[in-house]
Structure 1
Amino acid sequence: MSFELKEKGNQLFKEADYVGAEEMFSQAIQKNPKEPTFFTNRAVTRLRLEKWSGAEQDARIAIQLNGGPKAAASLKSSLYLAQALLELQRPQAAYDVAIDGYRASLNTKNAQSENLSKIVLRAKQQIWAAKETARLREMNDTLASVEKLIEADLEKELRELRAQLDNGEIGEIGFNEDQKARREEAAKRIQHVRDAFKSASGGEIQERVVPDYLVDNITFEVMHDPVMTVSGHSFDRIGIMKYLEHAAADPVTRAPMTVKDLRPNYSLKAACEDFLDKNGWAVDY
């Protein structure tokens, strides 16, 4: 009976009826709380409903039931857990979960490798952004004061939203939508402030950013000697060679591949060299 409920949930999920799907998976869990796929399916459904805390909880239970984060069956749940943690503004925790899952997926040639690598990069970008915020505020006390005022206003608004949710004045979906909108508005205000300080300082005070296309999807560092696979994806030579030593497959498509199949990407190498020449700080990215 519990698996019939799961199938009904899967069908509702395909039809984009996420509220109905969540209910079916919840009923399946009540009948059989030891089946990890029920929690995995409810976790992804809750991600669609933007119920981040619920998705985190379900993903953690699924990982535990599957035998831990290193188990192959846990990789999909690790992906969902990392996504939830990112949305909950916990990038370091998301990075730790995603990078462990990514490494495990490479070792087992799992289909989740590419998705996990994207989450690792997003988490690393958020961690870097936090470091940049601290650096910029150390450079200018006025900038720090203005940005902290914006953040204080945001925290006040979020507390008010939470109170409305707790009092039943708004639903969880509405709460998540309003919370996201408030965060985006605060981010825009901070960016406007930084643009003004950048202009006033002649470009001295500005956030440092590494373009995605310069970052290797195995080491997640800026590439120095990029090479291209048969599928057209570029990686840093050292990272992909180490990977091929034990995997002998394309990290993205998982098609059989050897070192002999790699080709230099001269245009990307020139772009990486130019960026590093002008941005020595990127070595610490």
Structure 2
Amino acid sequence: MAQELKAKGNELFKEGDYTGAEDFYSQAIAKNPKDPSFFTNRAITRIKLTKWADVEHDARSAITLYGPENPLALKSSYYLAQALLGLQRPQEAYDVASNAYTQSLAAKNAQTENLSRTVLRAKQAIWAARETGRLREMDATLGAVEGLIEADVKRALEELEGRLERGEIGEIGFGEDRDALRADAENNIRNVREAFAVSSKGEIKERVVPDYLIDGITFEIMHDPVITPSGTSFDRIGITKYVEKSGVDPLTRTPMTVSDLRNNYALKAACEEFLTNNGWAVDW
């Protein structure tokens, strides 16, 4: 019976009816709360609905049922990290994704690339939070203006949640409106920072590390990048250790050896130039 409910949920998910799919998965869980796949399926459905607190619950439940060392739990760890990012808890997301990424490398799991991207997203979010604190300490007026923007979006989100609770809007409409409010707030803050950067002649400016300088294994800025046969660059130490252990390309999973790695002189020069001009990035 529970499997039939799951199958119906799968059908609705494929059709894009995420609310209906969520309901069937919930019924399946009620019938059999010991099957971790039910929680995993409901988690991905709730990701589509951007119900991050519920995603966190389902992902943690699935991980507990699978067992944290079980490779089958890696997909749930990926969902959990996404939920934590959605809940604006980037350090927790980084810890979860980093641990799962390490496990996925050892297990040669299909979630490696997804987890790699999530680790980087979490690290960028952690850095962005630190930068926000630094900029606001530098200029109290900037902090006050950004605080007003955040207060406005918080009130708007509370009003939106009230409309959802009263049944005036559905889950999908709520998610779309919420994302739009947050995007507007981020855009307003970005515009304010640009204005302050101009008025301060660049003194008050957000610092950003370009993605192409970051190693996909250590998630640090590269200092000796090499390129794999598939065309992806990694820092030499990390990719060497990985290839010696696994014998495959970390992204394509095709067989390779350390001798297949080639120096990426252009990227190395770019990394050196960036670090020369941005000493703060060493602690990124």
TM-score range, shorter chain: over 0.9
Structure 2 residues without counterparts, runs of 5 or longer: none
Aligned to 1:171: 170
SS in 1 for 2:226: strand
Structure 1, gaps ≥5 residues long: none
Q: CA deviation at 1:201?
A: 0.9
CA-atom RMSD in angstroms: 1.4
Aligned counterpart, 2:231: 232
Any idea what SS the aligned residue of 2:252 has? coil
Paired letter, 1:116: L
Q: Is the 8 A contact 2:243 2:256 kept in 1?
A: yes
Question: Counterpart of 2:246?
Answer: 247
**Deviation at residue 7 of structure 1 after TM alignment:** 2.5
Give yes or no for contact 2:19–2:171 (8 Å, CA) kept in 1: no
What secondary structure does 2:94 align onto? Answer: helix
1:61 aligned partner: 61
TM-superposed deviation, 1:238: 0.9
Per-residue Cα deviation, 1:161-184 (whole angstroms, up to 9, x for no partner):
223333333333322222221111
CA–CA separation in structure 2 for the residues paired with 1:175 and 1:200: 38
Question: SS in structure 1 opposite 2:249?
Answer: coil
Paired positions, count:
284
Same amino acid, percent of matched pairs: 65
Aligned twin of 1:137: 136
TM-score, length basis structure 2: 0.95
The answer as to 2:260 corresponding to 1:274 is no
- Show CA shifts across 1:172-201 (max 9, x none): 332222222111111111111111110011
Kept after mapping to 2: 8 A contact 1:51/1:173: no
Q: Please give the alpha-carbon distance, in whole angstroms, between the structure 2 residues aligned to 1:164 and 1:7.
A: 32
Scaled by the length of structure 1, the TM-score of the pair is: 0.95
- Partner of residue 23, structure 2: 23
In structure 2, distance between residues paired with 1:183 and 1:48: 17
Q: Does the 8 A contact of 2:18 with 2:49 survive in 1?
A: yes
Which residue of structure 2 lines up, in the alignment, with residue 51 of structure 1? Answer: 51
**1:225 offset after TM fit, Å?**
0.8
5 Å matches for 1:153-232? 153-232=152-231
Amino acid at match of 1:126: A
CA distance in 2, matches of 1:263, 1:277: 24
- Paired amino acid for 2:124: Q
2:33 aligns with: 33
- For 2:78, the equivalent position in structure 1 comes to 79
Deviation string, structure 1 residues 183-228 (Cα, Å, up to 9, x no partner): 1111111111111110011111100001111100111011111111
